[in-house]
Amino acid sequence: MKLSKRALDIQASPIRKLMPHAVKAKADGVKIYHLNIGQPDIPTPPEMIEVYHQFDHKVLAYGPSQGLEVYQKSLVKYYAKQGIELEVDDIIVTIAGSEAVTFAMMVAANEGDEIIVPEPFYTNYNGFATMASITIKPITTYAENGFALPSDEEFEKLIGPKSRAIMLCNPGNPTGSVYSREDLERVAALCKKHNLFLISDEVYREFVYDGLKHTSVLEIPGLEEHAIMVDSVSKRYSACGARIGCIVSRNKELMAATLKFAQARLCPPTVDQLAANACVYLPDEFFEELIEEYQSRRDLVYEELMDIEGVVCKKPEGAFYVIANLPIEDAEDFVIWMLDHYRLDNETVMAAPCEGFYATPGLGRNELRLAYILNKDDLKKAMHIFREGLKEYKKIKG
Residue 114 has φ and ψ, to the nearest 5°, of -125, 145
Q: In what order do the strands lie in the sheet with 352-353?
A: 321-325, 367-371, 352-353
Fold assignment, 46-279: Aspartate Aminotransferase; domain 2 (3.40.640)
For residues 258 and 365, what is the distance between their CA atoms, to the nearest angstrom? Answer: 37
Fold assignment, 5-43+285-397: Aspartate Aminotransferase, domain 1 (3.90.1150)
- In a 13 Å sphere around the CA of 200, the CA atoms on its Cβ side amount to 29
Q: pLDDT tens-digit profile of 199-250?
A: 999 999 999 999 999 999 999 999 999 999 999 999 999 999 999 999 999 9
Q: pLDDT tens-digit profile of 351-393?
A: 999 999 999 999 999 999 999 999 999 999 999 999 999 999 9
For residues 191 and 181, what is the distance between their CA atoms, to the nearest angstrom? Answer: 15
What count of residues does the chain have?
398
Residue 329 has φ and ψ, to the nearest 5°, of -90, -35
For the chain, which residues make up each domain, given as ranges? 5-43+285-397, 46-279
Q: pLDDT tens-digit profile of 29-61?
A: 999 999 999 999 999 999 999 999 999 999 999
List the Cα angle 115/117/121 in 5-degree steps: 135
Residues linked to residue 301 through DSSP beta bridges, in sequence order: none
| CA-based R_g, the chain, Å | 21
Instruction: Give the range among 14-18, 96-100, 167-171, 382-386 with minimum mean pLDDT.
Output: 14-18
| DSSP state at residue 220 | S
